[in-house]
Amino acid sequence: MFRRKNASPLADRVFNDGERERLMAVWRLTALPRDEFEATYGDLFRRCWRVVAAGPGVEWIVLRDRALAHVTAALKVRQAYVLPRFAAAEDAARLAEAMSFALAACVLAERFAGVLGRAVAPGWSPLHGDVPAAAALSDVPVPRSFGALLLTRLVGHSGHEWLAQEREALWAAAAYFGEGRSELREIGRDAAARIGLPLAEAAAEPTPARPAGVPDTAPAASAEPDRAPPPTG
């Protein structure tokens, strides 16, 4: 399917030895050959780690640790689910692997969005460029939908190509950050709760401004029907 063409992403110096061991545990939760795992999951994790490598303070170290723990737990919980539902037998195994990758990518994007979205630095945006050493964390809450924007940046070429080929997984990833029900998001929430790592509540999406002159509420309807005016004269 997707083979890495260059050096192993897991050999990148952004990972320490403990993280590499934990990533091997993630690999064992999939059915992918090593090369395919590294081309997709490995590249995804490497992109996430590189973005925050220069981030100052312990928050960035904690982010990496919790992100790895959450993805591992989510893939374990995922094994109890049949996703996607009603897939043809000959397609089920392939689609199941794509769904697992979509879940891992969404969990990472959501976790990183919650911190990257709060980082501020002159001339820097969380949608491009790595976190500078001068970055500071604000107290501004981050809408969950920001994770969808970050997802497109972090997934990488092979991951994008994989999701593009498996539309069920692509739509499931989009639904994760939407307002409706998402089975992948439910798995992610369940996994976080099981390891005592609940996610911070997402910020409420802004309410559209009401046009000038429009009242906050419609006038209450009269309980009685309109009456004709009394006769005169």
Q: Where are the domains of the chain?
A: 9-194
- Number of H helices and E strands in the chain, helices first, is 9, 2
Q: Cα–Cα distance between 113 and 154 in angstroms, integer?
A: 11
What is residue 91's predicted lDDT score, i.e. its pLDDT?
78
- Residue 179's contacts (CB-CB under 8 Å, 6 or more residues apart) are none
What is residue 5's predicted lDDT score, i.e. its pLDDT?
52
What is residue 218's predicted lDDT score, i.e. its pLDDT?
47
What is residue 231's predicted lDDT score, i.e. its pLDDT?
56
What is residue 221's predicted lDDT score, i.e. its pLDDT?
46
What is residue 11's predicted lDDT score, i.e. its pLDDT?
87
Per-residue pLDDT of the chain (233 residues; tens, 9 = 90+): 555 555 688 888 999 999 999 999 999 999 999 999 999 999 999 999 999 999 988 999 999 999 999 999 999 999 998 777 777 777 788 889 999 999 999 999 999 999 999 999 999 999 989 999 999 999 999 998 999 999 999 999 999 999 999 999 999 999 999 999 999 999 999 999 999 997 755 454 555 555 555 555 544 444 444 555 555 55
What is residue 220's predicted lDDT score, i.e. its pLDDT?
47
What is residue 6's predicted lDDT score, i.e. its pLDDT?
59
Q: Between 3.40.50.720, 1.10.3210.40, 3.30.479.10, 3.40.190.10, what CATH number should domain 9-194 receive? A: 1.10.3210.40
Q: Cα–Cα distance between 54 and 86 in angstroms, integer?
A: 45
What are the start-end ranges of the E strands in 90-158?
119-120, 136-137
What is residue 128's predicted lDDT score, i.e. its pLDDT?
87
What is residue 200's predicted lDDT score, i.e. its pLDDT?
54
What is residue 227's predicted lDDT score, i.e. its pLDDT?
52
List the one residue out of 31, 52, 26, 53 whose CA is nearest residue 41: 26
What is residue 10's predicted lDDT score, i.e. its pLDDT?
87
pTM confidence score = 0.82
Residue type, 81: Y
Cβ-based neighbour number of residue 230 at 10 Å:
5
